[in-house]
Amino acid sequence: MTEQMDQSAARTLAYRPVQVTGRLAVGGLLLAGLAWVVRGVWEIRLAVAGEPAAGPPDQGDGVHRQLTSLENSYQLVTSAGGVLVFLCAMLFLSWLLRLRDNARALSGDTPRYAGIWVLVGWIIPVVNLWFPRGIVADAFRSSAPGRRLPRSVDVWWGLWLVGMISGVGIVYRDSTDQIIERAYTEGWPLLLSDAAVVGAAVAGAFAVHAVTAAQVERLRGGGAEVPDPVG
């Protein structure tokens, strides 16, 4: 009996607090979404103002004209948004690492994805199309075996892919000057991509809440089955 109690205590100590990191990840996602809302507003302002007679900021052949006050403020908005996205990424990864560690302790099984993929799975081409979602799903199923994955996880990931593949969402290839030019000439694709990013941030917040709630309830129940989380 004493040995079983010692093993139970050791198992409990192996769990890492996940509620606070989950709340911080939710906050980071919502801040990143808000940053993209502001960015979209500025792109609408650029489209309404119209391209200056001097042409786009990037004149070609390495020549860049002086930015207007509106264009300069858009540069500031995108820079601030980049800072918030970086903060969101750090908070999300901190939550995901704890979630994965707890899921492993709960199930006693080796996770399907090696720990290195929690970090590099987001940046390696092709792999980044499904590994991050797979890590979240694997941690959820280990925490709440037999339960259905929250719908918000799939909504989050689908919208994230739209924003990423579009090339003008969270992960974009164009410089800020080139995006300003696109706001003048093809604003709708930019706004649709922004909407996907904002939607992904909101859905991601619901997903983090639902997955965290399932794991916390399992931990508090000492490994008992948990109901399907809302989301």
Q: What are the tens digits of pLDDT across the range 38-82?
A: 999 999 999 999 999 888 888 877 788 889 999 999 999 999 999
Average pLDDT over residues 72-101: 95
Amino acid, single-letter form, for residue 28: G
Q: Residue 6: is its pLDDT beyond 70? A: no
How confident is the model at residue 171, as a pLDDT?
54
**Tens of pLDDT along 161-177?**
998 887 655 555 678 88
pLDDT at 49: 93
Between 222 and 220, name the one with better pLDDT: 220
Type of residue found at 112 = R
pLDDT exceeds 60 at position 226: no
Q: Residue 64 in 3-state DSSP?
A: strand
Provide the whole-model pTM: 0.85
For the segment 111-125, the average pLDDT, to the nearest whole number, is: 90
Contact yes or no for 158/175 (Cβ under 8 A): no
**Tokens coding 16:** 């890492």
pLDDT reading at 9 higher than 60: no
3-state secondary structure of 188: helix
Q: Is 32 helix (H, G, I), strand (E, B) or coil?
A: helix
The CA distances from residue 218 to 105, 134, 208, 227, in Å, are 12, 20, 15, 9
